[in-house]
Amino acid sequence: MIITAANIVSEIDHLRKDIYYDYIGQSNRGKIKIVRVEHPEGPVYIKRGNPASGVNIESTDEVSISTNMIWRVANAVQEEVPINIDRILGASYNTRSVLESLLAYTPCFHITYPGRIESNQSSSKVKAGHKHLIWQPATPHKLGVLNTINTKKVISEIPSQLAIYESLAITDNKVFVNDSQSDLQIEVERRHAQIQIALFLIGRQLGFRTWIAQNDKSITYNNEKLGEMDGIIVSLKDERLLIAHQEAVKAALLIDCIWFKNSRLMPAVMEVEHTTGVTSGLSRMKNFKDLFPPFPTRYVIVAPDEDRHKVLQECNKEQFRDLEPRYFPYSSVEELYSLCQRRKIKGVTEDFLDCYMEKTA
């Protein structure tokens, strides 16, 4: 089972709005009141304060728990795995203890204190642990109350995986709308390129050759143009699968990423949608499919986790349903990329990819 920001928002919205909730941290004597909840993915608006210090909570300003914050927590949640909200969010949000507490009042989140493995050069010991939440949808507790459970699980201080990207240099001949590039524009270009390169490296590890959109081949990675790297397809018009379908070739030139295998298979056709509308990517893939004879492949939208609702909504529009689109969230791209880099996996079937992509129908 997986949990999304929409799930979290829905569960919090079931909590009563006419009462005050305690923080789960014993040192915080303040109270929390839910003011309103925006669907599907937040924000959640609350008021907070410490009545014992003379604060009238009703007169305090509203504070929001942002959609971004909710998604960061949702991406970290796995069934039966303890999570530490402070570690997930760091110092990024001043309402993190509020979100932690409200989650604990929903039925499927419990409070637990897993052991902590403390290692040095010669030995490892399990020490008393810190406060965590654990998601157990199979064993819910009563709505609006806190529930603490014991667990035999222990937490390692060593992260199990880390996705690391090389710094990317975007060449001067990239085209922007205007000459004065804002930080946001640069950041958007970089993130889009990082995901494209991750998809290429995943494909190479799985034995695929990769087509990268014609207008992205000038991206420089490790002092080498992406279009000149081993495993990147130079020209689609000579690709055996497409050679008899030159109109389909033209339609594919600007598709962000296509994987080919053994000149006979096409495991996936992918559009990376970082800030642009999902519709444009779906339209490009639809145009390609209409010009190519029926062929087994995956048509995939690769997009940020927080865009899941928008992706599913667009993919289910009538004109795109025959694509049977799949959703490949950034977090899954990074997870698969990390696995490929750490374990150098090989010999897996194409079906392995389906573990990381969500059907949108």
What is residue 185's predicted lDDT score, i.e. its pLDDT?
39
Asked whether residue 101 falls in the same domain as residue 200, the answer is: no
In a domain, residue 167? The reply is no
- Residue 210, pLDDT above cutoff 90: yes
> 133 and 38: one domain?
yes
In this predicted structure, what is the pLDDT of residue 172? 42
Res 119: pLDDT: 65
28 located within any domain: yes
Q: What is the pLDDT of residue 224?
A: 85
pLDDT tens digits along 97-155: 999 999 999 999 999 998 877 766 666 676 777 899 999 999 999 999 999 999 887 77
User: Quick one: 15 exposed, middle or buried, by C-beta within 10 A (0-12, 13-18, 19+)?
Assistant: middle
Instruction: Report yes or no on 176 lying in a domain.
Output: no
How many domains would you assign to the chain?
A: 2
Question: Is the residue at 172 inside a domain?
Answer: no
Q: At which of 119, 138, 156 does a domain end?
A: 156
pLDDT at 338 over 70: yes
* 2-21 residue pLDDT tens: 789 999 999 999 999 999 99
**141 and 242 assigned to the same domain:** no
Mean pLDDT of the chain: 86
Q: Does one domain contain both 71 and 193?
A: no
At 178 the pLDDT is: 34
Under the banding of pLDDT at 50, 70 and 90, the label for residue 211 is very high
| 142 within some domain | yes
Burial label, 223 (beta-carbon count in 10 A; 0-12, 13-18, 19+): exposed
**DSSP for 64-89, written as a single string:** EE-HHHHHHHHHH--BT--B-HHHHH
Same domain, 33 and 125: yes
What CA–CA distance (Å, rounded) separates 60 from 298? Answer: 51
Binning pLDDT at 50, 70 and 90, where does residue 257 land? very high
Q: How large is the average pLDDT for residues 291-299?
A: 93
Asked if 117 and 218 sit in the same domain, the reply is no
Residue 87 lies in a domain: yes
* Residue at which a domain ends, from 115, 140, 156: 156
pLDDT tier at 165 (50, 70, 90 boundaries)?
A: low
**In terms of domains, do 197 and 302 share one?**
yes
| Dist. CA 152–CA 271, nearest whole Å | 43
86 and 192 within one domain: no
**Domain residues for 70?**
5-156
Rounded Cα gap, residues 259 and 165, in angstroms? 21
Is-contact 330 195, C-beta < 8 A? yes
Mean pLDDT for 72-89 is 90
Phi and psi at residue 190, to the nearest 5°: -65, -45
More confident residue, 343 or 213: 213
The pLDDT, as a whole number, for residue 182 is 34
Note the pLDDT of residue 27. 75
Q: Which helix (H) or strand (E) holds 281?
A: helix 278-290
- Does residue 111 sit within a domain? yes
Structural domain includes residue 99:
yes
**Shared-domain flag, residues 27 and 76:** yes
Reported confidence tier of residue 331, pLDDT bands at 50, 70, 90: confident
Q: Are residues 129 and 271 in the same domain?
A: no
**pLDDT at residue 89, as a whole number:** 86
Question: At which of 140, 156, 172 does a domain end?
Answer: 156
Is the domain of 190 the same as that of 337?
yes
Distance CA 16, CA 33 (A): 9
Say yes or no: 120 and 191 in one domain: no
Predicted pLDDT of residue 267 = 95
